[in-house]
Amino acid sequence: MNGTRRTFLAAGAAAATSSTILGANERVNLVVIGVGGRGTSHVRSYAGLKQSCNIVGVCDVNQAARERVSAIIVSQGGSKPKEYNDMREVFDDKSVDAVSMATPNHWHALGTVWACQAGKDVYVEKPASHNVWEADRMVDAARKYRRMVQVGTQSRSSAHVKQAASLLAQGIIGEVYMAKGLCFKRRNTIGRKPEIDTPPGIDWDKFLGPAPMRRFTENRFKYNWHWFWDTGNGDLGNQGVHQMDVALWGLGINELPAAAVSTGGKYVYDDDQETPNTQIATFDYGRRELVFEVRGLMTGGEGSQEKGVKVGNLFYGSEGFMVLDGGGFKVYKGEKNELAMEGKTSRGEDDPHMQNFLDAVRSRNRDSLNAEIAIGVTSAKLCHLANISYRLKRRLEITGGRFVNDAEADKMLTRDYRAPYMVPANV
């Protein structure tokens, strides 16, 4: 075991007993880790919640990103934050109460485990994890060190989605037999980019972290890391995990299915992208079924609205169906599909979701979290199961969190981690 890991395990041993308890009106000292596009949104949201938190630092492997976001914080009336290149320095800082992680997917689990070991509460972006195995280590760490860990599936804090889920549970469309998630988000080709020397100001080793070492390319950096298996999970695990989470919520489920199968491909484009731009996944829940579709190419929507839904959910029941997206929901009932009820959007999901996290940091009541880690990992796992099926090109039977008589698929539940960025089996 190297010195860095000993430091975090030692810090973690003390975390459960020596963590600062904040008063109900005290502000949370927060550091945002990963301040690219999504991380910048984190900063802007927390800046609007200044009665609940202080943004005391920003952390990123990209010097230019740190400087840009620090300037934004100052321009919005905040104090100049401390800048960190290495998240481990954040976790060593005893003045920091919590972190908000908007790193690439492959860093979510290790960053969360390290933060919990150091006594920090965590808001972690979706998908909760990069693979199935490490999702459970995140839950283990949250429980062992008694940390508040919220996953960034913001729909859980959206008033109209809450109402829709409640109506489904009450039987508004009768017995729900199918939930469908749609991610028809237009994605243009990323083209091809050559391997080059790492640009100045970027710590490429720390960016890759648990992933294999590769030479720098523009397409593996910034947003396009989503489309490579080393660091991302395709659009199923990017935008799609939000709708996957809502589908589970509407079905009233927080468990894995009996089987999963996914097919598709990368069509039309000839570029560097590894993940599919067209994908269909089906999950067997016995008397109910969850179906998910990804289409990054030109397409129409689905449902009974004028233009159809492109990013949202459809629920089908014995008495009707529901169409749900960011604009609201509509319920259609009877053989003639008559509009029976509708609810309008409640825009601004980020702020209430982050406020919910900050409130839990102060109250120490994990049950108050709208997307507590044990809830948030399930939608991530479904995305991972679908991607494993897609990559192996076969249906997968599942029991006890593993595949039935399929050692090759079991191996893909986790990854080979690159030292020293190892997610520990025993957190």
Domains of the chain: 3-155+350-371 (3.40.50.720), 158-191+205-347+383-411 (3.30.360.10)
Q: pLDDT tens across 60-83, in order?
A: 999 999 999 999 999 988 999 999
Q: Which residues of 162-176 are buried (b: 16+ CB within 10 A; e: fewer)?
A: bbbbebbeeebbeeb
Least confident of 209-213, 252-256, 344-348, 417-421: 344-348
Kindly state the average pLDDT of the residues 171-183.
98
The gap from C-alpha 307 to its chain's centroid, in whole angstroms, comes to 28
Cα(298)–Cα(316) distance, rounded to whole angstroms?
A: 25
- pLDDT value, residue 29: 98
Cβ atoms within 10 A of the Cβ of 299, count?
Answer: 15
Of the candidates 56, 55, 58, 53, which has an alpha carbon nearest to the alpha carbon of residue 28?
Answer: 53
Order of strands, sheet of 328-333, starting from the edge strand that comes earlier in the sequence: 338-344, 328-333, 320-325, 311-317, 176-183, 288-295, 278-285, 259-265, 396-399, 402-403
Q: What percent of the chain has pLDDT over 90?
A: 91
Q: Which amino acid would we find at residue 192?
A: R
Instruction: Enter the pTM of the model.
Output: 0.94
Instruction: Evaluate if residue 148 carries a pLDDT over 60.
Output: yes
Cα(188)–Cα(198) distance, rounded to whole angstroms?
A: 25
Cα(421)–Cα(207) distance, rounded to whole angstroms?
A: 11
> In Å, how far are 18, 341, 367 from 120, measured between CA atoms?
11, 43, 18
- Helix (H) / strand (E) element for 99: namely strand 98-101
Q: What percent of the chain has pLDDT over 70?
A: 94
- pLDDT value, residue 11: 45
Residue 80: strand, helix, or coil = coil
- Helix (H) / strand (E) element for 162: namely helix 159-170
- pLDDT value, residue 345: 84
The residues, any chain, with a CB within 8 Å of residue 368's CB and separated by 6 or more, are 356, 359, 360
Identify the residue with better confidence: 347 or 64. 64
Q: pLDDT tens across 280-302, in order?
A: 999 999 999 999 999 999 999 99
Exposed/middle/buried for residue 337 (C-beta within 10 Å: 0-12, 13-18, 19+): exposed
Rounded to a whole number of angstroms, the distance between the first and last alpha carbons of the chain is 13
Indicate the pairing of strand 396-399 with strand 259-265.
Answer: antiparallel
Cβ atoms within 10 A of the Cβ of 69, count?
Answer: 24
Query: 């991607």: which residue's tokens?
Result: 387
Q: pLDDT tens across 390-408, in order?
A: 999 999 999 998 999 999 9
Of the candidates 339, 342, 287, 294, which has an alpha carbon nearest to the alpha carbon of residue 318?
Answer: 287
Residue 388: strand, helix, or coil = helix
- pLDDT value, residue 19: 55
Residue 289: strand, helix, or coil = strand
CA-based radius of gyration for the chain? 21
Q: pLDDT tens across 24-51, in order?
A: 679 999 999 999 999 999 999 999 999 9
